[in-house]
Amino acid sequence: MDTSLAYDPQRGAELAENVKDVLKEIAAARPAGSSPRLVAISKIKPPSDIQALYDAGHRHFGENYIQEMAEKAQLLPRDICWHFVGTLQSNKANLLASIPNVFVLETLASRKLADKLQNALAKTDPSRVLSVYLQVNTSGEDAKSGLEPLTADSGPDAELADLAIHIRDSCPQLKVIGLMTIGSWEASHAEGENPDFQRLRESRKHLARILGIDEGNLDLSMGMSADFAEAVREGSSSVRVGTRIFGARPKKESK
């Protein structure tokens, strides 16, 4: 094993216990018949932390920075399922396409990036299909990326529906498997139903209508450390939990 993957047994036990605690909360909150996925967000954390959780049986990890994910993917076991959850610049499409065990890109929000990814995949592996979530800006905050939510009045020309249709018809190596959102801080820390989660559920319903598919074929990725239990209660298929598992993160150094 690469020495950078060695970890202190106490740290390994702590991380494994944190994951167990989060999984218990997910199990307590999940609706009958559902099995939400826990994605451990490991950005800025050392590869040894990921190795420790891998050894404890966890497989789904998320990263915010594509260069960091590429470097970690080179070091760590190849059966890890990587989720890219950060903003991906179109000039980094080739780098993402070069990582063979990307499970899903969670933040696709433009035709330009979709086309770049399609071209990159066609060059690297014409048989590969990359799963993607379309990112929805459910809170309407200017600082957040994502497409406008769909409503009952939305048609195929709405930007979210238009992108999904474009991918279906013009990007054969991309597959839309769900929708993702990052809700507002206020909604995430309030009690009761989260309006951002409600908007994502509504968007899924209307996108399924426009595409002529069952909405059960589309995942929902919503909920993070502060609100994952509520997200699970409201039907999230996948939750992204970082600080509850790994602890607080240092600020990323500028390069």
Q: Work out the average pLDDT over 160-180.
A: 98
Q: Work out the average pLDDT over 235-245.
A: 98
Q: Could you give the CA distance from residue 139 to residue 199 in angstroms, rounded to a whole number?
A: 9
Q: Could you give the CA distance from residue 253 to residue 115 in angstroms, rounded to a whole number?
A: 31
Question: 């939750």: which residue's tokens?
Answer: 239
Q: 58 falls in which pLDDT band (50, 70, 90)?
A: very high
> Contact, 40 vs 53, CB < 8 A?
yes
Residue 51 CB-half CA count within 13 A: 18
Q: What is the pLDDT of residues 71-90, one digit of tens each?
A: 999 999 999 999 999 999 99
Q: Could you give the CA distance from residue 148 to residue 136 in angstroms, rounded to a whole number?
A: 6
Res. 239: pLDDT tops 80: yes
Residue 179 has what pLDDT? Answer: 98
State both tokens at 234: 């409201």
Res. 254: pLDDT tops 60: no
Q: Could you give the CA distance from residue 9 to residue 28 in angstroms, rounded to a whole number?
A: 29
The C-alpha angle with vertex 55 and arms to 253 and 46, in degrees rounded to 5, equals: 10
Residue 183 has what pLDDT? Answer: 82
Mean pLDDT of the chain: 95
3-246 maps to CATH 3.20.20.10:
yes
Residue 157 CB-half CA count within 13 A: 1
Residue 251 has what pLDDT? Answer: 64
Backbone angles phi, psi at 251, to 5 degrees: -70, 140
Residue 128 CB-half CA count within 13 A: 21
Res. 196: pLDDT tops 90: yes
Residue 255 has what pLDDT? Answer: 42
Q: DSSP class of residue 235?
A: T
Locate the domains of the chain by residue range: 3-246
Q: What is the pLDDT of residues 92-139, one digit of tens each?
A: 999 999 999 999 999 999 999 999 999 999 999 999 999 999 999 999
Q: Could you give the CA distance from residue 168 to residue 119 in angstroms, rounded to a whole number?
A: 15
Residue 40 CB-half CA count within 13 A: 30
Residue 132 has what pLDDT? Answer: 98
Res. 248: pLDDT tops 50: yes
